[in-house]
Every structure is written in structure tokens, then in C-alpha cells.
Amino acid sequence: MEAGLDPYALAVIFCGIAAGAFVKGLTGLGLPLVAIPFMAGFLGAEHSVAVMQIPGLVSNAWLLWNTRQAASGMTLRYEMLVPALVMLFFGVWFLDSSENRTIILLLAGVVAAFLVLLVFNPSFRLVGARGRLLTAGASLCGGFAQGATGVSGPLFSTLILSFRLSKDAFVFYNALLFGVFNLFQVAILTAFGLMSWRRVTESLIVLIPMLIFQYLGMRVRGAVSLKFFNGVVIGMIALMEVKLLWEGLGG
């Protein structure tokens, strides 16, 4: 971590990462959304986004292995992946010097629309040509947000939830998508000179609480019902929405 951080600051950062990792192990999402705001108060947004990529990659790889049996018969939605990867590059380019508030508010609006559908129409699914078009459009926004802020879980997890997958399949799909994002983002951050050896070292330190608390979340996941699991996921997306609005409106 940065030289000069006192024990209280380090404790706050580690607590944020621990909380995000536990939720990540339970639901497949939540690590960067919780950890990056905690870290950004001490390291800055750009620094925090860079430091979180390796822990995110390890976290997602672990979840992929843990839920690998759910991969059977699963189809990757390229209309969600490809637009996001294209815009991820522009998001990283935007990261260093631009204001993120407009993008955050746009993302919050899209997530709010999906939440309305999920709450009032639980059978909501994105299928057919219209579903593919909406998915691709939403992925453009999400990919940019992922590159610029390191956080795109609200949008992509809402999209994946609309696929009506089992618990393990939902976690697997999240881990696969965000793992690919992490790989590309590390490469792009390195190309832009934002991924220094010091930040790599910090990323490795961050792995310690992440591994411990993600393991605990993964153990709990097997003990909860599908109804409870879906409720937790929707609750997490709602909390993400509140967080996005708070940041976007300058809270």
C-alpha cells in the first residue's frame, strides 16, 4: 500500500475488500463495487482501479473453478461480451483525466430500468433479436464504465440475472465475464502505463483478505435456497443502484 497510510486507514481498506470478497463468494458479484470506493478515498480512483484488477482476476478464476460443473451446455452471449471489450479500451483511456459522474448517472439510469423489470416482472428475459439488441446496447455502456471506474457489476449482473440461470450457473457466468474483463483491463492499463510494478505488488497484498473472505462466502452459498439467493442478488443490485446515484449526484 501507499507509504504513510496509518493502521486505521489500512484496516478500513482491508474491511472493504473483505466485505466485497464475502459477497463475491456468495453471489458472484460485489468485490470491486465495495472495495474500490473504500480504497479510492486513500489511493485515488485510478490507483484503486489498477490495484483491484489482479485480485479480481484471481477471484473470478477461483469462482470459475468452483462452479465449473455449471458450464455444461452454457452458451456465451457474444452480443454482451464483444461490445463491452471494445468500449473497455475507451473507458481506460477516459480514466486518467475525465469526470465520471455523467457516465455513472447514465449507468444508474439503465440499472434502474432493469430493476423495475425485475421487481414488477420477475419472468423478464432478454431473448430473441430485440433481446440481443438491448443486450449489445447495454454492454456498450457497461464496458465503458468498467474501463473508466472498474465497476460494471450493476449492469452486467442484471443482464445475466435476466437469463434465469441456476445459482452456480449465475456465479459461473459472472466470473467468466468479469475474468475476461480483468485480463483485457490489465493489458490495457499496462499499455497506458497505469499498471506499475508497485501496483502489482499492492495487488498481491490485497489477495490476502480477498482469498479468506471469498472462501467464507463460497461456503455459505451452498447452504442457501435459490429464492434467498435471488433475493440477495436483487438486493445487491439495488444497493449498487443507490451507490451509483450517490456518487453520480455528488454525495
What is the per-residue pLDDT across 42-95, written as a single tens digit (0 to 9) for each? Answer: 777 788 888 889 999 998 998 899 888 887 767 777 888 899 999 999 989 988
For residues 239 and 20, the answer to whether their CB atoms sit within 8 Å is: no
Q: Which of 173, 133, 171, 145 is nearest to 84 (CA)?
A: 145
Question: Could you give the C-alpha distances from 190 to 26, 89, 182, 185, 193, in angstroms and in order?
Answer: 31, 12, 12, 8, 5
Q: Which of 191, 102, 203, 199 is nearest to 144 (CA)?
A: 102
What is the per-residue pLDDT across 171-230, written as a single tens digit (0 to 9) for each? Answer: 888 889 999 999 999 999 999 998 888 888 888 888 888 899 989 888 887 777 767 766
Q: Residue 212: what pLDDT?
A: 93
231's grid cell = 433475493
* Residue 145 banded pLDDT, cuts 50, 70, 90: confident
Q: Which residue has the higher pLDDT, 215 or 160?
A: 215
